[in-house]
Structure 1
Amino acid sequence: MSFTAPVIEWAGLTPVLIILGAGVISVLAEALVPRAARPFTQTLLSVLAVLGSAVALARRWKVVVLEGTWQELTGGVVEDPFGVAAQTILLAVGLLAILVMADRTTADDGAFAAQAADRPGSAEEAESIHAGWIATEMFPLTLFSLGGMMLFPMANDMITLFVALELVSLPLYIMAAMARHRRLLSQEAAMKYFVLGAFSSAFLLMGAALLYGVSASVSYREIANAVVRGGLEGTDWLSLAGVALVTIGLLFKTAAAPFHAWSPDVYQGAPTPVTGFMAAGVKATAFLALGRFYYVIGVTLYRDMTPLLGAVAILTMVVGTVAGVVQTDVKRMLAYSAIAHAGYMLIAVMVPNSVGMSALLLYALTYGVATVGAFGVVTLVRSSHDGIPGAEATDLDAFAGLGRRSPWLAGAMTLFMLSFAGIPLTAGFVAKFEVFIVGIAGGATWLVVAAIISSVATAFFYMRLVVLMFFREAEDERVTVVASMGPTALTIGLAAAVTVLVGVLPQTVAAMLANAAMLMP
């Protein structure tokens, strides 16, 4: 019996392998490194892994984007300019998220439970806190999830897509339950995320099974060819149903309505750094994977799928806008903001060509960076108990007077809110402008009009927070601002710098992403 070894282009997988390899080493560090040295060791290892992956990715950018060498790395992973650009964006988001996770602030407590296995309110938990233990399990989990995110937009068959989806999701189910404060709320959020995440996986698997029935293949290319050729008489509906179910499975991860129910509760209950990582990373990678799926397969059923995507986009904008206006918790407000932005990003998905993919890449970058920065600010605004900092003060009224307490934090938060609202001279304006132009050129003018109306309405709750920070006095002393020990301040500064630079000088980034928005058919 002969065996043919698979041909794997390891050089193209180097950026992902560095991240996943560092995740394995990080797991070993949890077992072998003394507890007191773990926070520094794990932080250093995670940051070096991301930087090392970025160096390897820079070399791949030269080979793939500049020299035009596209290739299929394995049977289910392709390396093309779009995939390399997507990995670059996700690495940037991952680095910022890791820095926020690593910061313990001057309150010396961090965002994560001393020991996640302790029952909330138990004597064991009190002993762990008294001993000064610091959870570090989130670092290997973050690296594994980030590795899955980097594979997700490069997936070129249904099996790889599903495996990458689970690699992204499983670590996040655990991380969502690791909050240091409000432990029961955190565990409830993790359970909701897990249950609804299982539903999304089931939809995707069922859709993949139907597409396999049509084409006898899991490859995107073979499925697209089979859909174009047509299968047995009376089976055309299988193709449409399969594409629709895969779309629904991915839309769960983007928190598009009506598949958004998990989002506000999970965003509110999860540790704030994890919320930022989910809001930026998971949304970006799911949309980028959806973009490739539609570029290769969905375009063959474009006329049939346009009503579904259009209806979902409109409903997503309405839900995100209307529900966001009435929120009194800043994390829930940002959750509904994320839902509204998912509606805008769907416009780019509905134009499955290089121009639409370029707009999608730019939106993923600008939204992701501003989101991590905004949640970084939230981690530093705390409730105060006789001068002792406690949990994050996420009620909107807690941000009243922040402009006086901490002008730089309030200024950064204002910048992120302006970017979300799409105000000129911010990165968010450039990204929205690109998406809207793409939508009009692609014949979705009615969607663009709805998106503009939604953007104007969502500006209300962004500006409400700005007014609270600068034009309202703090009503009591039950809120305090803790200082960063460095990592969160660096994250907020970098996010603010990117938001301004891309807003003021967008040509360079837009041109790079336009050159990178090419996918292997």
Structure 2
Amino acid sequence: MINTTLSAASINMAPLSAEIFLVVASCAILLIDMFLKEGKRNITYVLSLLTLVGCAVITYGDFKAGTTTYTFFNMFVSDPMANLLKLFTYLAVGITLVYSRQYSSDRGMMSGNMGGEIYVLALFTMLGQMIMISGNNMLPIYLGLELMSLSLYALVAMRRDHAISTEAAMKYFILGSLASGFLLYGMSMIYGATGSLDIGTIAKLSAANAANHTILVFGLVFVVAGMAFKLGAVPFHMWVPDVYQGAPTGVTLLLGAAPKLASFAMMIRILVEGLLPMAFDWQQMLLALAVLSLAVGNLTAISQTNIKRMLAYSTIAQLGFVLLGMMAGTTGPRDAMNAASAAPAYSAAMYYTITYVLTTLGSFGLIMMLARSGFEAEEIADFKGLAKRSPWYALVMTVLMFSLAGVPPMMGFMAKWAVLQAVVATGQYWLAVVAVLFSLIGAFYYLRVVKTIWFDEAVDVSPIKTPMDMRVALSLNGILVVLLGVMPGSLLAACLSAMTQTLGS
């Protein structure tokens, strides 16, 4: 007779409060939007932002408690790292919705009986990210990834009458499906080697040499390849520039910002918490991916004239630094590896990911600000003379470009410094030198945008008209990048504390 009794700890719903609230609110918003007239889409917009606020309030309470709670037979975990990443995920998605509201409306993406579906799909994208971040088992991690990806496929193809967007959606779907296949195949091989999909169980078996090492290594190769596809690391980066350019800019921001936080969490869960005893194997893979991403991303971005493609290659290069932080975490012989002692390096990678997300939000926000109905501000030349049209937003864009280039005292400089410190601590000085050299090369194309803004003659001198919420959000975005560069201590400490508590639990 099968025992169907479940322990209270196994079905504790409290750690999933934010996810449950998000599901209920998203379904309610979908139903409400069906009965709204086309001119009432602001109601859907406001309800979506209120949903994000509600999720943030719930998650912040868990973050302040600083506890680690497992539920659903250890498939789901609520810990400090997950809660901190979720808070920034809410912030990224919320700011994206603010930036893209007018842009989407001008392009007819809010028309029809279901015009508010962009908000609902964005919320379901975020739900997938939250499941990925808190997944403590390969099954929910994969399900969260697919929920996020399927929602993003639909969003990229939202402009059904736009050939370039449709083409981008097809490329994203085909290559994304390939990446999912790689990841799923790798997970199945790890399951075959260990007999479990549970992260903790996999860690114990691999540490005790109780798993088939050969099969485990093959599984690891496919898992790392699948994650590299989702991150957009070289040589799995071919979809990034085409999708970034072809997707509506608001959707580009949805797939280029918050998902990076979830992908970082996925790497920590699988590679660090699950396969730390195999760190020597996956570190070599991450090293190759990091150096290739720094080289290809920075060198290719130089020749770009489309700013969305330039930022796409910039993203590839920025992810190279994240991977450097990940591979700098654990060194030494296999039996001496300790995830908790490597927390400073992983927290540096986490801080870098957050920095990249905040800076990317503002960069694409300004692209959408300059766009208008019938005109896409996608060329670097479209930023000519922005300083004469709006000195304040020219300054904000300058701050964001300086941050991406790693110019002090911007937030991006502190992020690069933290990662380089972690790399130097491993004794791999040559790697730090390579990263610095490619960063200097990358500074060229960021400074080219700054030069265009301040010194080129304006082609369009018409005043910039944007909604109040977007103007406020862009201003705060720029100020935040400067403040967190001048005073990075609080966020760095939060990342270190969250990572230390998570890996020590």
TM-score (norm 2): 0.92
The residue aligned with 1:380 is 369
- For residue 231 of structure 1, report the CA deviation from its aligned partner: 4.2
Q: For 1:396 and 1:340, how far apart are their aligned partners in 2? A: 19
- For residue 147 of structure 1, report the CA deviation from its aligned partner: 1.3
Higher relative contact order (CA 8 A, sep 6+): 1
- For residue 354 of structure 1, report the CA deviation from its aligned partner: 1.2
Tell me which amino acid in the other structure corresponds to 1:101. S
Please identify, of 95-104 and 199-208, the stretch whose mean Cα deviation from structure 2 is larger.
Answer: 95-104
The residue aligned with 1:176 is 156
| Alignment partner of 1:473 is 2:474 | no
The residue aligned with 1:417 is 401
- For residue 161 of structure 1, report the CA deviation from its aligned partner: 0.9
- For residue 446 of structure 1, report the CA deviation from its aligned partner: 2.7
Q: Secondary structure of 2:375's partner?
A: strand
Determine which of 243, 255, 258 is the counterpart of 1:266: 243
Asked whether the 8 Å contact 1:288–1:360 carries over to 2, the reply is no
| Alignment partner of 1:57 is 2:59 | yes
Q: For 1:9 and 1:45, how far apart are their aligned partners in 2? A: 28
Matches within 5 A, 1:383-462: 389-462=373-446
1:468-518 C-alpha deviation (Å, 9 max, x unpaired): 1101102x44x8564211232222122112101101111122112211113
Tell me which amino acid in the other structure corresponds to 2:420. F
Please identify, of 315-324 and 361-370, the stretch whose mean Cα deviation from structure 2 is larger.
Answer: 361-370
CA 1:134–1:487: 2 relative to 1, 3 Å: farther
- For residue 380 of structure 1, report the CA deviation from its aligned partner: 2.0
Q: Secondary structure of 1:461's partner?
A: helix
Aligned residues: 487
Determine which of 143, 148, 152 is the counterpart of 1:163: 143
Tell me which amino acid in the other structure corresponds to 1:428. G
Asked whether the 8 Å contact 2:264–2:350 carries over to 1, the reply is no
| Alignment partner of 1:496 is 2:478 | yes
The residue aligned with 2:492 is 510
Asked whether the 8 Å contact 2:202–2:275 carries over to 1, the reply is no
Q: For 1:482 and 1:179, how far apart are their aligned partners in 2? A: 25
Please identify, of 248-257 and 94-103, the stretch whose mean Cα deviation from structure 2 is larger.
Answer: 94-103
Tell me which amino acid in the other structure corresponds to 1:227. S
- For residue 443 of structure 1, report the CA deviation from its aligned partner: 3.7
The residue aligned with 1:19 is 22
CA 1:409–1:294: 2 relative to 1, 3 Å: same
Q: For 2:108 and 2:319, how far apart are their aligned partners in 1? A: 28
Matches within 5 A, 1:220-235: 220-231=199-210, 235=212
Tell me which amino acid in the other structure corresponds to 1:102. R
CA 1:444–1:273: 2 relative to 1, 3 Å: farther
- Identity across the alignment (%): 32
| Alignment partner of 1:196 is 2:182 | no
Q: Secondary structure of 1:391's partner?
A: coil
| Alignment partner of 1:79 is 2:78 | yes
In structure 1, list runs of 5 or more residues that go unmatched: 116-127, 384-388
The residue aligned with 2:32 is 29
The residue aligned with 2:289 is 312
Tell me which amino acid in the other structure corresponds to 1:330. I
CA 1:444–1:19: 2 relative to 1, 3 Å: farther
Asked whether the 8 Å contact 1:376–1:491 carries over to 2, the reply is no
Q: For 2:463 and 2:109, how far apart are their aligned partners in 1? A: 20
Please give the root-mean-square deviation of Cα atoms over the aligned residues, in Å. Answer: 2.0
| Alignment partner of 1:369 is 2:372 | no
CA 1:109–1:138: 2 relative to 1, 3 Å: closer
Tell me which amino acid in the other structure corresponds to 1:57. T
Matches within 5 A, 1:285-296: 285-296=262-273
Q: For 1:419 and 1:112, how far apart are their aligned partners in 2? A: 33
Asked whether the 8 Å contact 1:200–1:249 carries over to 2, the reply is yes
Tell me which amino acid in the other structure corresponds to 2:496. A
Q: For 2:430 and 2:197, how far apart are their aligned partners in 1? A: 35
Q: For 2:217 and 2:235, how far apart are their aligned partners in 1? A: 20
The residue aligned with 1:123 is none
- For residue 77 of structure 1, report the CA deviation from its aligned partner: 1.2
Tell me which amino acid in the other structure corresponds to 1:50. L
Q: For 1:237 and 1:337, how far apart are their aligned partners in 2? A: 36
In structure 2, list runs of 5 or more residues that go unmatched: 331-341
Q: For 1:368 and 1:54, how far apart are their aligned partners in 2? A: 17
Please identify, of 487-496 and 461-470, the stretch whose mean Cα deviation from structure 2 is larger.
Answer: 487-496
Q: For 2:430 and 2:277, how far apart are their aligned partners in 1? A: 22
The residue aligned with 1:279 is 256
Determine which of 322, 326, 331 is the counterpart of 2:303: 326
Q: For 2:108 and 2:267, how far apart are their aligned partners in 1? A: 32
